[in-house]
Chain A
């Protein structure tokens, strides 16, 4: 923790963290057709963690992320890499897009584009990077604090 615990931050964290996470996921998915995308979504999720860090320090951030941040980076990179490389296996140029359309009973018509999956990889990676930096630079001051 950097300074004293503040009620304002505690409350903001409690109310805003989940909201921000939801918003980040929304921003990521709408990215294909409206402003947003994996990068922006990942940054929003990252800022949710920053808020949590400011309120409760590294320990609370660690407790709220299920996976190791460094693994998250790898996970995102692998998704993006696989999505990019998969068309090569199908004898197409790398990163070719595929569009699938479904119609799901209640929700209606759904369109999935393979490049959205690529964006998902970017999202995970960006969240992982922010978390990694936060956890490592945020903890254990390199100089002792009085």
Chain B
């Protein structure tokens, strides 16, 4: 399994790197990888015990990459790889082989790898890793046309929304790890944990699933994602990636689905998603957008099926997931052909497409009828199963089952309506309009995948038993109690009558409302809420920055000093005893002399207003300290201090010559007094603290130990140096990294200043700037 996932990444990155030289070969290799995945997963998935690959990552934290091919994972991988191969082959003919094509193919294969990993994940952490990968690849694919502002914006919106869900999932991983001690689905199922932490984790899981699978109130990013080319929409945004949230819920529902808040949020959000998606689909003129809102609606439907997690609903969910992936991908590919052939996707422009391309209309009809749930297509059998499960759901979830049933019935009726709008709008004739012109006819690669998908919808509908048997194992792998079967003709029962009611109701409502234009918009929409949040966060952070980062050195210094002061005061207060004993004024007269000169220069430093003089006085203080080190028998420190002091002085002078000679005129007395007060207090606190620190020592000096170890362990006699390069080598490594970063900071600041001047001051300095950069 791991090999298969890695093969995707290898081929995908290879295509990105060198695919430009041979686009045809690149696509072929991509299709081959997906087919290899398809075939090998069938072979692996037939085993009785699920194949499992575990790779330890960070043992101490219990993190590992854990892949497991149980029945459900097998079905999902087959959907991912099978549809992936078909759609990639389709795309080879759909795209012009321009500069974006190889990027598309490469990222597409990478995405397929990430999605395969996601559905194979045996624990939440592994799923999170692949989850984030799919978000990123989706971002790249939505923004494939990087010259279009709309595409870029939609891509960012999708990334931020799903990224928020990713963060929620990470939170859930952490909470599960803390609250339950594991994130593995199998372990969680064996001994379901409970408690406040687990409930919080479940809320985060729901947020993650709702964002990824475009559930209300996060549904808005999915229609925006239609800025991507049609093959991308068909694959990521209808068949695979948006199912990731469904997969997550499907894994969790059998374990945790009996909680009230879980069921209610699933039914409420899923039901609203189903309705809103369907109703907004009715307003669309762009058939691709119409299908996108249809996908939103269907995702809400599946969310309810998996989220309630009763035995027959889980079964119906798996079956419908497959049916949906087939018919929706087929429809999207059909839209791609229409767009490619007639140069438009607008139902107010298209006319007579059905007459011009009868075969395409027939193929689309098969998939569209499956979407509406008309006998004898696959969508009928699976939706029938779902209705049976919902009618029986009272036994498990009480009155909530009825709420869910009503939501699904209404949503399905709307589904029938938008299916009709889609089909009639695309393939029908508008009165008084001439038939659309065929710009260029589609090749066999464009048509082949649609034939196959429509075939599955039809044959699967005529002989649903076979598919029904195939998905039973996968459903049982989610929930051992899952049960069910698919039939073509269920007989006249409650579910069948409901189904019939949905169809008739949808048809009648469509006839009635057909001529009405649905221009009214809701006062609040997800997009607007998103935009307002986004803008609000940007301007809010600007405001916070403006308040907290004033750019005034004085404010920064005072803030730093006050924090230091607070910590010192706390430390001193906790010791309680402020008396200082055993203080010696000076060890020798030399020491006294040096300390006196250091103090004198420091005081003078505060008083003088000339910058150069103050820098020099600073140097005097520094050299004094160096001499103190030397007097105390620390030649290494003294040497280094001396050198650092010299170089600092030079650097100071280099900078100071760019600045005014004198400090600014003294501000009025109030701020001056404040600064003086802060300085005096902090000075006193630091002095007192230093004195107390020497008294407080009760541990043995580490120096003695180092002195013994220096020669045998590190082979050096200079303890200071041995400490620097060996005993505390990591500190040194950190310090030199800081030093390097600071130097690079200087470089970029100077360059920035030069560039600024070149742009803003007249050309006089232009020459100078260019010489030095």
Contact = CB atoms under 8 A, between A and B. Distances in A.
Given A95-B729, A97-B726, A119-B721, A35 B750 contact: no
Q: 3 tightest CB-CB pairs across the interface, nearest first?
A: A43-B643, A32-B716, A35-B635
A40 B640 contact: yes
B356 interface: no
A142 B729 contact: no
A33 B220 CA distance: 69
Contacts of A136: 746-747, 750-751
Contacts of A44: 643
Contacts, number: 154
Most B Cβ at <10 Å: residue of A37, A43, A118, A141? A37
Interface in A66-124: 70, 73-74, 76-77, 80-81, 84, 94-95, 97, 99, 111, 113, 115-116, 118-119, 121-122
A55 interface: no
Contact of B713 (A36, A50, A58, A97): A97
B563 interface: no
A116 B746 contact: no
A34 interface: yes
A143 B742 contact: no
A125 B739 contact: yes
The binding surface of chain A is classed by DSSP as helix
Interface string B546-589: 00000000000000000000000000000000000000000000
Interface string B278-300: 00000000000000000000000
Contacts of A132: 743-744, 746-747
B524 interface: no
Nearest to A34: B718
Contacts of A95: 726, 729-730
A139 interface: yes
Contact of B753 (A38, A50, A73, A142): A142
A22 interface: no
Contact of A43 (B647, B651, B717): B647
Given A50-B647, A70-B747, A115 B740 contact: no
A115 B750 CA distance: 35
B636 A142 contact: no
A119 B725 contact: yes
B676 interface: no
A84 B735 CA distance: 14
A126 interface: yes
B629 to A, nearest CB: 11
B93 interface: no
A129 B739 contact: yes
B643 A47 contact: yes
B743 A118 contact: no
A140 interface: yes
Interface in B743-765: 743-744, 746-747, 750-751, 753-754, 757, 764-765
Most B Cβ at <10 Å: residue of A46, A136, A138? A136
A70 B737 CA distance: 13
Nearest to B728: A95
A6 interface: no
A44 B643 CA distance: 7
A36 B639 contact: yes
Given A37-B725, A97-B714, A118-B732, 8 more contacts: A2-B657, A32-B718, A32-B722, A36-B718, A111-B715, A126-B739, A134-B650, A138-B654
14 contacts: A2-B657, A31-B718, A32-B721, A38-B724, A39-B724, A43-B647, A46-B643, A81-B733, A84-B733, A115-B725, A129-B740, A132-B747, A134-B650, A137-B655
A56 interface: no
A82 to B, nearest CB: 11
A112 to B, nearest CB: 9
A39 B658 contact: no
Contacts of A128: 740, 743
Contact of A143 (B651, B658, B715, B772): B658
Contacts of B765: 144
A37 B721 CA distance: 6
B721 A36 contact: yes
A12 interface: no
Interface in A9-61: 31-40, 43-44, 46-47, 50, 58
B647 A77 contact: no
Contact of B736 (A76, A115, A138, A141): A76
Interface string B697-714: 000000000000000011
